[in-house]
Structure 1
Amino acid sequence: MLYFEDIMVGSSKTFGHYEVTRDEVMKFAEAYDPQPFHLDDEAAAQTHFGRLSASGWHTCAMTMRMMVEDMKIHQQAGLGSPGVDHLRWVKPVYPGDTLSCRSEILEKRRSKSRPEMGIFKSKSQTFNQDGEVVLEMVSNGLIRVRDHGDSED
């Protein structure tokens, strides 16, 4: 199990493999982001996307899925997240793309009000099969402290 004490500022890892399908792009758009360029080939061709593209929110959801799958493998003592500081959709994601992620720990600190909890900030990037960044975000994570009697970082 990975705890606050195990997180090292500057450490990074790559993980994930997600194949984007046309069917999933359209189902997500129908349910959550029903804009024409996510649902209709002709409408999408008339935009800067040039063809049917995934919703940025769908890209976030696919990224989150890869992050959770990685957490399952590496057994993190996570406690959720208080939010995202930065989110940017850098390039469109298209049906047929294969996505992967990279995450880097930027900083960490112990919670002053909750000594059993640590807070860390990480930069995550999602890449397509060509190694191009399609999404980047800086988020905050909450994680259990192994020994909350110890005040060291």
Structure 2
Amino acid sequence: MIYTRQEGEEVFAQIHLWEVGILFIGIAFIVGAIYIAKTMKNLAKTIEDMDELMLSNKQNIDAIIADIEVITKSSSGVMEDVQESVGSLKHSVLNVEKTVTTTKNFMLKPVLKTLNYSHFILKIIKKFTKKSKSKV
């Protein structure tokens, strides 16, 4: 049976409310599917960007870890040099202390004693010379 429209007959006269509801549900499904597709596309792009960022950060972290090993070895070398320098400085201070003690005991004390004796002898000589001048 072929349905033909007669003049004056409305086009939408035979449409029921449930058919309109199904039409709206279909339209909403299409709009929702488009929105979900766009959201999924944006999510995929975000995940790709995150993957690139993670790869870049992994490479940077690997480089930093490699540099830390070099820095640690270098620091160990510097610390050994500092310890060696401190040991050498300690040895030099001890040698200076020994030199000062030796100079004091074997040079300064005898010189001071000699000066004291010389001063004492000069006083005695002065006394005798004063007495002899006064007798004359």
By the TM > 0.5 criterion, same fold? Answer: no
Greater C-alpha Rg: 2
More helix by share: 2
More strand by share: 1
What's the TM-score once normalised by structure 2's chain length? 0.18
Higher relative contact order (CA 8 A, sep 6+): 1
